Amino acid sequence: MPITFAGRFAHAQRWAGPLAAKLQPLIGRAVAPPAVRNALDGVWLGAPLHPALTDVPVGSWTAALMLDGAAAVSRDEDLAGAADRVLAVGTLAALPAAVSGLNDLRDLIGESRQVAMVHALLNVLGLSFTTASLAYRRAGRRRLGRGLSATGFLISSSAAHLGGKLSFGLGIRVNRTMGQFAPDAFVPVLDESELEGGALRQVDVNGVSVLLARSQSGRVCALAGTCTHLGGPLAEGSRDGDTVTCPWHGSRFDLCSGAVQQGPAVFAQPRLEARVRDGKVEVGLPGEGGTELPELTTFTQAADGSG
Contact status: 189 vs ligand FES (CB under 6 A)? no
Hey, what amino acid is at 66? M
Buried b (16+ CB within 10 A) or exposed e, 43-55: beeeebbbbebbe
Which residues make beta-bridge pairs with 283?
A: 187, 274
Which residues make beta-bridge pairs with 191?
A: 280
Of 117 and 246, nearer to ligand FES (C-beta) is 246
Of 251 and 257, nearer to ligand FES (C-beta) is 251
Stretch that binds ligand FES, among 29-37, 72-80, 222-230, 269-277 (CB under 6 A): 222-230
The values of phi and psi at residue 216, to 5°, are -65, -25
Of 49 and 160, nearer to ligand FES (C-beta) is 49
Contact status: 37 vs ligand FES (CB under 6 A)? no
The 10 Å Cβ neighbour count of residue 188 is 15
DSSP H helices in the chain: 5-12, 16-30, 34-41, 49-74, 77-105, 110-138, 142-164, 297-303
Stretch that binds ligand FES, among 26-34, 37-45, 91-99, 229-237 (CB under 6 A): 229-237
Edge-first strand order for the sheet with 243-245 is 238-240, 243-245, 252-254, 260-262
| Closest distance of CB 89 from ligand FES, Å | 34
Contact status: 219 vs ligand FES (CB under 6 A)? no
| Closest distance of CB 230 from ligand FES, Å | 4
Contact status: 105 vs ligand FES (CB under 6 A)? no
Q: Mark residues 239-268: x for contact with ligand FES by CB under 6 A, - for none.
A: -------x-xxxx------------xx---
Stretch that binds ligand FES, among 34-42, 48-56, 167-175, 226-234 (CB under 6 A): 226-234
Stretch that binds ligand FES, among 12-20, 68-76, 200-208, 225-233 (CB under 6 A): 225-233
| Closest distance of CB 251 from ligand FES, Å | 3
| Closest distance of CB 87 from ligand FES, Å | 37
Of 103 and 123, nearer to ligand FES (C-beta) is 103
H-run or E-run covering 172:
none
Q: Which residues contact 130 (CB under 8 A, 6 or more apart)?
A: 61, 87, 90, 91, 94, 148, 149, 152, 153, 156
3-state SS string for 115-138: HHHHHHHHHHHHHHHHHHHHHHHH
| Closest distance of CB 110 from ligand FES, Å | 14
- Contact residues toward ligand FES (CB under 6 A) are 227, 229-232, 246, 248-251, 264-265
